[in-house]
Amino acid sequence: MFDGPQFGGIAKSNLDLANEFIKQGHIVTLIIKSADGPRKLQINAEAKFCILGNKRAVGIVLSLCGFFVKERPDLIIVSNLMPGLLAQIARLFCFSKVNLAVVSHINVFRNLKDRDFPLRKKIFLKYLVPHLLTKQVKVISLTEQARDGIAKILRRNIDDIQVIYNPIVVSDDNRANFLSEINWWEDSGLKIIVLGRIDPLKDIPTVLRAVALINDLNPKVLVVGEGPSRAALEDLSFELGVDSSVKFIGFIPNPSLLLSHANILVSASLSEALPLNLAEALTVGVQVVAADCDFGPREILGDNEWGLLIPLQDSSAMADGIRRVHDNPFPLKLLKNRAADFNSDRIAKKFLELFY
């Protein structure tokens, strides 16, 4: 149950997981607001749909009740605690015995402290969620680091919270789709890629300032993603004098081929759940330099075991980190071994093992 084939990493992870279940022979229904969106071509043709539209909470609960009674699913996997609460209310309301797993993709503590986060949702998170998401509901954290916080929110023992990574699926997109970007990189000394939605949380200004400090390496940076901060970042690249070294190419549903041609993936995010672009980089043997934010980068890269962690909002540290992995890259075999932990077949089986 999720928003649909939209821009974000949550949508991609859900689609990849759904497609893996279908590959394993299971019948999968996507419970979504809309089947339209930039990732719609990634939806498996065998997937079924339960379209919610733009219904409010009561309408979603009633739709879920109807779906549970009519289809009698064995397992529903829901992204985040608020949709999980709605699914649980529907489950209780219609006396459904469907197994419910709730995957927490977000930093719930950040939401509770955020002044702009709706008060109604804060109340739900603080008071209703702990009482209604009982131990019958399996709650999954994407990282070991976030598990303790989720347990406190739900007032559960930490051992009641499972840790299951999101899956990694490397695309086999046609090289011709990205030929112009690959050619743009060819005369550079260092091919850098930045992946993700372009918004303030991704802190791409730190990346641009770091690029200005490594001109001697002849870097070229592809920024792959779309979002509200794009125009401001393009202006900043001009101000810093790196506009000829940085190319914004917008959103691409499956940037795996582009990623595989890069030397280094850079992430300056201020907050993450589990940034799969880091794990995907390891899968294709690309070096990673990432800001050490809560919670995902350290979970994926360890204590600088499979990539380099740097302080947040520190362009000098990022520039130094890029130089370090450029001069002394992590061994390819080491990266590939870590990437195996995000195998989609393995992840799908872990979900089934929770209940069967």
Whether residues 163 and 185 fall in one domain: no
Whether residues 142 and 104 fall in one domain: yes
Whether residues 265 and 140 fall in one domain: no
Query: What is the pLDDT, as a whole number, of residue 70?
Result: 95
Whether residues 84 and 46 fall in one domain: yes
Q: What is the CATH number of the domain that holds 14?
A: 3.40.50.2000
Whether residues 302 and 317 fall in one domain: yes
How many domains in the chain?
A: 2
Whether residues 225 and 272 fall in one domain: yes
Whether residues 209 and 311 fall in one domain: yes
Q: How far apart are CA 248 and CA 319, in angstroms?
A: 20
DSSP result, 210-267:
HHHT-GGG-EEEEEE---TTHHHHHHHHHHTT-TTTEEEEE--S-THHHHHT-SEEEE
Query: What is the pLDDT, as a whole number, of residue 168?
Result: 87
Query: What is the pLDDT, as a whole number, of residue 121?
Result: 76
Question: Which residues constitute the domain of residue 181?
Answer: 175-341
Whether residues 98 and 223 fall in one domain: no
Beta bridge pairs of residue 50: 31
In a domain, 4, yes or no: no
Query: What is the pLDDT, as a whole number, of residue 174?
Result: 62
Tokens 């609460």 belong to: 85
Whether residues 193 and 289 fall in one domain: yes
Whether residues 51 and 135 fall in one domain: yes
Whether residues 56 and 142 fall in one domain: yes
Averaged pLDDT, groups of 10, the chain, 356 residues long: 66 90 96 85 90 90 95 94 92 94 78 72 81 91 87 90 90 69 88 94 97 96 94 96 95 84 96 88 96 90 96 98 97 94 94 91
Query: What is the pLDDT, as a whole number, of residue 318?
Result: 98
Query: What is the pLDDT, as a whole number, of residue 125?
Result: 77
Whether residues 59 and 208 fall in one domain: no
